[in-house]
A and B are shown apart, each in its own frame.
Chain A
Amino acid sequence: MEQGKEDDDWAERYRPSTLSDMEGNGDKIRRVRIWLEGWESGKTPKKRGLLLSGPPGVGKTTLAHAIAKEKGWSIVELNASEQRNAAAIRSSATRGSQYVSLENFSRGSESTGKTVILLDEVDHLSGGFSQVSEERIHTTMGSEEGPVLKGDSGGKAELLNLLNKTENPVIMTCNDPMKLWGRGNWRRNRDRVNRVAENIIFERVGATDLRRIALRVLDSEGVGIDPEALDALIRRNPGDLRALVKDLQSLSVTANGHVDIASVSELSGSVLRDSQINVFESLKRAYNSDSGLLASEAILNSDKDPDEILAWFSWNNQSVISSRGLEEISGAMCNSDSYLAAKFTNRAFRSWYWGSSLPTQAIAAVADTKNDGGVFISFPEFLRRGGETWRNIDLIERLAGSMGTSKSSFREDLWPALLAIHDKSLGASESDFTVAKKIGMTGEDHLAILGIPKTSKVGKSILEEFAQVGEKFEIEEAVSEDKMEQSEDETQSTLDSFG
């Protein structure tokens, strides 16, 4: 997607076109170069894929294009705006390469004349890793009308297949690898991809790099900026280069050749992106207000929907409000959660109103029971992916699948029993893996049930022990994993209910 220098959009105009032009993430670029050297030797390297993951606007897609340009490779792009089922992925791979039928052609040609297959946003491939039949892929690829495969069917499986067989470099980008791994058996899926692809994780761009780029862009546009205005702009940027450049462009429109602090603060009043809104400030103000009216006004502009606001409140109440206060408002908090759920049973979105007005009134009612030491707001742990709760959900789901029961009956009947069996106060031993091995849990799962962090010293030694205990249960475990594969498709989207 090369575009001319006269591009309207600054973000396109200043998109770097070669590897050496890229800013930030220096060590990541070095790893990319090492991966590239693997291809240059003429052989096909062990890891044929490059998975670039990281937040938006740090240059993942740009890097992919820069690699191609620098090496003089052509590029075949398949992104989420197109269907990406098994057949579509295979045909684009064929189009660009010698993957299936042109294998011989490739052998004869120069090894440098590669075609990069760029799969953008692979985390948006819907569905799981389950394969679709070869026959259906071929039928779909052959027919012009009425494809047999709809949507993204079999896309992820074909992706793995491609990574294992391709003669061409494959570059994938994604924001959230967790979504790519899927929900059911994510560790296994992650390992399957990591075996054949170099996973490079990009971080948000640091303030120094942001500053340098901002100055360079402004300089070539002939726009000046006050130092404090630049500071303010960078302070509220979450490390997203594209957003920074967009902001600069939007500032320059009214700036008249010079950006000052007034226009930046005006910008921050009306043009904040979500990642820049300070929920913490709003919540702090809510906790410090002495009436329900003021508290609800304080969160009015936080732009979080009621589900999320409730989650923020119930998490932070634990640390802000004393136990007496918590007791008094527990009824109200609990009710507001039930009322919010009414939107699922009968689409009554007006019950959202109570989802935020009950908790705000509640915190105002017990304002005098606040713990000493001020209000410190923290991010709700259970909204974080990869937290303990999420791991247990994953575990429950998998075990329920392997035992052939429903999730809810597993949670209600078997899960408590499982916890009791592993409860130390009831005489269990941490290093008794009989049950865990029998039902196909991993060492991490075992730790999760025990409630021991896997990074702790105890946790590590248990993990080691777990790994050493016989392989005799392997077969059973494998069976349970295959069962899970099939049910993955349906459970894909629910993860994002807070997103």
Chain B
Amino acid sequence: MQISKLFQDRLDASSFSLSDIEGKLHSENEVREKYIKIKSYFKSHLHPSEIIAIKIVKDIDYLLCMLASMELGITYIPMKDDYPLNRVEQIQKLTEFKLLIDGDKLNEIYSTNHEQVNWSPIFSNPLYIIFTSGSTGEPKGVVISRKAAANYIDQLKLHFDHLSSDDNLLQITQFTFDISLNDVFLFLLKNCKLYFSKFSTDIFNLAYEIEEYKINFINTVPNNLSMLLNEHIISRSNYSSVHTWMIGGARFSAGLHTECVKHLKLSKIYNVYGPTECTIYSHFKKLNLDPTDLIDGNVSIGKPLENIKSCIYESEIIKNSFVRGELLLGGLQLMDEYIKNPTKTKSAFLEIDNVKYYRTGDISYQTESGEFHIVGRLDDTIKYRGYRINLLDIDSYIQKLDYVRDCVSIAVDDELLENKTIAYIILKEERLVKEIKKDLMSVLLDYQIPSKIIITQSYPVNTSGKVCKKTLKENFLAKGK
């Protein structure tokens, strides 16, 4: 499905069905008028090769800016409205984006008329550039082509063919997280109604929205589903409207599988997997909600999507079933590059027998039936609330604070919350934890800020003199915190 065709079909549809969380249905005319103004502004202020960044609150205006970019062939960069200035500057330096859409710019777009100009879209432009955590304090901009996204959209259409225009979707995830595009693409494909969630961490809010808006399809991370199935939430909630759950962005635990069997047996539940570098997701697994979904307590991620090649690698491609190695992904959904980072781009890929593969860093094996299971990570990257966090990245940002001598972060696994990040900091000058956290808000994104900061005088080291993270973790768990 070409993205331009997707748009043509959608724009020919009888109405845009977008509602804000308060339930006020935007009139078709209001939405169309906003959309036309945005497109006119883009056409009159940009060259087709230029890039825009969107930095407003996640709501209908954000979506319209994204859709306008997609339709016009303009590459967009999603940001959160509360990104610290240094983050915006880092991204500007890497991408040289021409236009930043913030609240003021949006007001300008809506309040002025713009001259009509001819527009020759460049559909070979990337669709979007999304930034993920690096390991050195510099974010990596993942460049995704329209061709890669088009393959993914085709897979969505295939696997979620049962969705219809009667279905209600809930935009839960921030647009800076690529899984948010599942809702956007399904909204476009199926003409569903799309509601914008106000949920951030209060799970009661999310449960309320699901019931209130009679949501039929939920796309979210395992942690949120875990919370929704918590006895204190589910006992006062009603998810009977939800016929399909698409759960990905982090590990689908055996514990969560048990809860799904108990509470959601009548629903379709998909465990989905994939790095941002492989356009949202690369594997879908429709769970049977029985023991066949698991091996040794590990839930299957299923088979690769069409036009994606998966294999297991340990100095060579492993063909035998159940032998572990690094999961490599090839095929149509691979990113173009990390923008302006040829070194990292080169090291992210491996070429074997003239096939280019992305190195996921995930340890995996394949079963005889061709399904894959993820069993661990090769490096210091963890998932928290679905977001990728590199612990070394966190350390390098914290070490930039003047009063910090050293920082070592660990991740403590929690069955429900996936991971908590604990930062052990050695200070040059006395500071309260509260002050440190406040300073970190100006250099880290909200999900990167450690769950706990512990001020220490020294670190345990191993026989090689390296900081022993294992001992730090054991000590933390032993204290029962």
Tell whether A pairs with B: no
